[in-house]
Amino acid sequence: MHLVFTIEGGLSVFPGLSRPATIDSDDLSAADSAELKRLLDSARFFELPEDSRALHRGAADYRQYTITVENEDHRHSIRLAEPVKNPHLQVLLDFLRRYTQRPALRGNSA
């Protein structure tokens, strides 16, 4: 499974510095790979609408996220904006942010 995660916007955004992070499940530990799959399944990722980022009035500085997942059967992208109300998606975002902030992955681009 191949995943691309992008964060845009926010109060201290620097355009051009927010490159997508790429995650390949083959490069993850067995535990992290299983956790990522579990989180995607819990969020029903492949059933979600592509664009869920309807911004609320006054929300121009909210962070926006794009997650694209490709496996042997599917390729699906979703776009989200804060606040993320779906608790399963929030846990998935927390995992992706933690994982992509690891020093070995900084600057990893698609």
- How confident is the model over 7-62, as pLDDT tens digits? 887 655 555 556 789 999 999 999 999 999 999 999 999 999 987 555 555 556 78
User: Does 18 fall in a domain?
Assistant: yes
pLDDT band at 91 (very low <50, low <70, confident <90, very high): very high
- Give the pLDDT band (50/70/90) at residue 90: very high
Q: Is residue 109 part of a domain?
A: no
Residue 8 confidence (pLDDT): 84
User: What per-residue confidence (pLDDT) applies to 108?
Assistant: 47
Q: Is residue 108 part of a domain?
A: no
Domain span at 80: 2-101
Asked if residue 16 belongs to a domain, the reply is: yes
Mean pLDDT of 81-99: 92
Give the predicted TM-score (pTM) of the model: 0.80
Query: 24 lies in a domain?
Result: yes
Is residue 46 one of the residues assigned to a domain?
Answer: yes
Q: Domain for residue 12, yes or no?
A: yes
Buried/exposed 88-102: b ≥16 CB within 10 Å, e otherwise: bbebbbebbeebbee
What is the number of structural domains in the chain? Answer: 1
Please, are residues 42 and 91 in contact by the beta-carbon 8 Å criterion?
A: yes
